[in-house]
Amino acid sequence: MKPSAFSHLRADSASAAVQALKTGAKVLAGGQSLGPMLNLRLARPEALVNVSALPGMIDICEKSDKLCIGAGVTHARIEDGKDDVSLPPMMRHVARGIAYRAVRNKGTIGGSLAHADPAADWLTAMTALDAAVIIREAGGKERSVPISAFMLGAYRTVLDSSELLIRVEIRKQLRDAFWGYDKVCRKVGEFAEAIGALVVHPDSGFIRLVAGATGGPPLILTDLGASIAAKATRPARDEVRAALAARLTDVDDVKLHLMTTALCRAIEKVLPE
Ligand SMILES: Cc1cc2nc3c(=O)[nH]c(=O)nc-3n(C[C@H](O)[C@H](O)[C@H](O)COP(=O)(O)OP(=O)(O)OC[C@H]3O[C@@H](n4cnc5c(N)ncnc54)[C@H](O)[C@@H]3O)c2cc1C
């Protein structure tokens, strides 16, 4: 199928983009999720506003204690790691596992977060790195939303239809964190059936254990994370499974098995013995 007719605006300022959004246009970033939806006519916007030329949208920079990643930065650029500002190494690993290179060349971190597919990688990775999402509101103000409060459910976020996700911020110190990220999928580069992520920064006492591809927002396992930090040992597989089962009451045994495996593998990468 082909998309229904739409007009296309390449916005050169955030205010022009927001103005278009206010009149019903939809944001187009890399088009890797929106393109198929248009072709299948699951989305039929009358206008698209391309935000890739907006100032700041493709910057990777440092601001005081934060690393700032523009929403329009592609997965491929994160994978390549050639920018002057280095990002947490886990991000290169995560980017490399998304789809295949042609998708990574176009797809963006902001597009992935805004699309909020529960099986997508960045939602879980950014939750593990305790990121904040910076949103430009219709009136021009910016607000910062912790990633843990950003996704409301499958394909649903706190973004209003006239708001733009403009960048992601991560604490600079997490560049040196220990990390484990494991994605279970049928073929390399496919969407995940289960994701486990663990980030530990001993100097600041930060530890975050996350299960992703839950069917909804990523799950932060605070108690199990705290117990790993306190004991500095790997929990038994049964303990991991029980922690997941207590929070994911509507998943079947196969899904629980995959989620447990992904989480145990992520933990093993940080605590090999
Ligand atoms: C074959 C294939 C395999 C894939 N495999 C994986 C995978 O393994 N893991 C994974 O994580 N992803 C995967 N993806 C998805 C890919 O990562 C997409 O790039 C991503 O989901 C969407 O990013 P995009 O920049 O292309 O956004 P688009 O498709 O352009 O937009 C997606 C949605 O987000 C909105 N949007 C985009 N940018 C903004 C913004 N700045 N502010 C507000 N709203 C915005 C759009 O309006 C649209 O609703 C795959 C895609 C394909 C086609």
pLDDT given at position 272:
85
Ligand 1 neighbourhood includes 168 CB (under 6 angstroms): no
Average pLDDT, the chain: 95
pLDDT bin (cut points 50, 70, 90) of residue 128 is: very high
Ligand 1 neighbourhood includes 98 CB (under 6 angstroms): yes
Residues 9-23 pLDDT 10s: 999 888 889 899 999
Residues 185-234 pLDDT 10s: 988 888 999 999 999 999 999 999 999 999 999 999 999 999 999 998 99
Q: Which of 46, 79, 103 to mutate to test the pocket of ligand 1 (most atoms within 8 A of CB)?
A: 103
Residue 176 has pLDDT above 90, yes or no: yes
**Atom 1 of ligand 1 has which residue's CA nearest to it?**
99
% of the chain residues with pLDDT over 70: 100
Of the ranges 39-43, 80-84, 101-105, which one carries the lowest mean pLDDT score? Answer: 39-43
Please state the separation of Cα 178 from the chain's center in Å: 19
Q: Please return the burial class of 192, using the count of CB atoms within 10 Å of its CB with bins 0-12, 13-18 and 19+.
A: buried
| Cα gap 117→191, rounded to integer Å | 9
C-alpha to C-alpha distances, 75 to 28, 43, 78, 251, nearest whole angstrom: 16, 24, 5, 30
| Cα gap 125→120, rounded to integer Å | 9
State residue 156 phi and psi, 5-degree precision: -130, 130
N-term to C-term CA, the chain? 53
Q: Which of 6, 9, 21, 33 to mutate to test the pocket of ligand 1 (most atoms within 8 A of CB)?
A: 33
- Tell me the domains of the chain and their CATH numbers: 7-50 (3.30.43), 60-173 (3.30.465.10), 175-270 (3.30.390.50)
Least Cα distance to 129 among 173, 77, 75 occurs for 173
pLDDT given at position 53:
80
Ligand 1 neighbourhood includes 103 CB (under 6 angstroms): yes
pLDDT given at position 224:
97
Residues 201, 176: contact at Cβ < 8 Å? yes
Residue 1 has pLDDT above 80, yes or no: no
> What letter represents residue 74's amino acid?
T
pLDDT given at position 203:
94
pLDDT bin (cut points 50, 70, 90) of residue 266 is: very high
pLDDT bin (cut points 50, 70, 90) of residue 273 is: confident
Residues 32-70 pLDDT 10s: 999 999 999 999 999 999 998 888 899 999 999 999 999
Task: For the chain, list the strands marked E by DSSP.
Answer: 7-10, 26-28, 47-50, 60-63, 66-70, 132-136, 142-146, 151-153, 156-157, 164-171, 178-184, 194-201, 206-212, 219-220
84-89-93-96 Cα dihedral, nearest 10 degrees: 0
| Cα gap 113→169, rounded to integer Å | 13
pLDDT given at position 74:
97
**Threshold 0.75, pTM exceeds:** yes
